[in-house]
Amino acid sequence: MTCKEIMEKLEERWNPSYALEWDNVGLLVGREDKEIKKVFTALDATEETIAQALEFGADLLITHHPMLFSPVKKVTSADFIGRRLITMIQADLCYYAMHTNFDVKGMAQLNQECLGLAECEVLEETAPGEGIGKVGVLDAPMDLKTFAEKVRNDFEIPDVRMYGDPAKSVCRVAVSSGSGKSMIRGAIAKGADVIVTGDVDYHSAIDAVAQGIAVIDAGHYGTEYGFIAYMKQELEAMFPELEVGSARVHHPYEVV
Binding-site residues for a divalent metal cation, please? 64-65, 103, 220, 224
How are strands ordered across the β-sheet holding 243-246? 26-29, 94-97, 60-63, 38-42, 243-246
Q: Residues marked as binding?
A: 64-65, 103, 220, 224
Edge-first strand order for the sheet with 118-127 is 118-127, 130-143, 169-179, 194-198, 214-217, 161-163
Q: How many helices (H) and strands (E) does the chain have?
A: 10, 11
Give dist(CA 145, CA 152) in Å, integer: 11
The answer to whether the beta carbons of residues 2 and 36 sit under 8 Å apart is yes
Q: CB within 8 A of 256, min separation 6: which ones?
A: none
Write phi, then psi, for 147 (nearest 5 degrees): -65, -40
